[in-house]
Structure 1
């Protein structure tokens, strides 16, 4: 039960309820990651304890941001193997969660996870963030956007901020070195209708891992021309 204790401690530290049912879902999720990872490239992290710490606990730490606990409709951009969206859904069963990824094999995996874990009100989306953001069903339709994608913050902001309602929050899960990236992104964030609220430092229980959560609030509508067409966002980042 060492993994139960790890997850329980991390949950307690962020004021989250944790029980046997949630634990069982995490363990089943871990097993599915390990099984599918042999045929689909989901993660380089495959050891039990590493998955618990570096994927599950890291993901649930987004709830360190108190504002997210009140949000109802989330989208996880570039979700990959389901991080942070699936752990967030396990911890907050009442929320509505959208999982977007450009690789169909990962979406097939996520559909299996949703089915096997019995998760309700989860929607998987196969495609590019730039395309879905133009769709009125999704544009400025979310209380919160989360992303642990590898893109720098300037690019990631153009992918993510258009999905937010005015007053909503974009939380980017980032590594320890964020200062330069944040400085470079501030103009783009402003153009897209956002404002950097704060940076929250995150410690992962049972490890020396240190991460940052960049918290951006949507303060005005995103101009209709953003995000730009597929490819443009990464080739020519906003400055």
Structure 2
């Protein structure tokens, strides 16, 4: 599994089109959208005000989770996991590697890129905006857990709709609608989380730690079930790619 993850990283960083469309876009777009949507009058004081207030910190971490899933959910790395291989995909069928290892190596690669972005962004916000390091750590753990589910869904979606018959890398990215459908699915998931956060905060009036624990446990359970399902069906899922 580790060797296959390394192979995926090498392919992403060594192929110019993959590097631009996957790595650079995944890094730049969430940060740009964050500043466009959340920065007011050139600063983040309104955000730090919510976070520093114990009464609204629970809501803040719930909204922070929704924001990270919305901004980073449409991960092109996940939604082109199998399509990127092109005609060389068929080589995988002759390698002594389990189908589940191939699937999860691709999902983990996309997820690790997201985790790196989360870490860089979290450290930057703690240092530059003066946001509590404890809050940013909780946000990081919660968002990483949520994005694992998003990347598993994106990878599964590409396995279902993989287009491995392309001539150039440009055609691969121009003719793909999987990323759009995955983005719409992410919006739906974010709306479900918004409903859950609203229930916990406005009706049950939970604080930061209870909100974190409930959301973290919820995502952990969903991820565990989804991973079990994917492991059992990996052979069948990958056999449909042709």
Question: Which structure is higher in helix share?
Answer: 2
Question: Which structure is higher in strand share?
Answer: 1
The structure whose RCO (Cα within 8 Å, separation 6+) is larger is: 2
TM-score, L = length of structure 2: 0.24
TM-score, L = length of structure 1: 0.24
Greater Rg, structure 1 or structure 2? 2
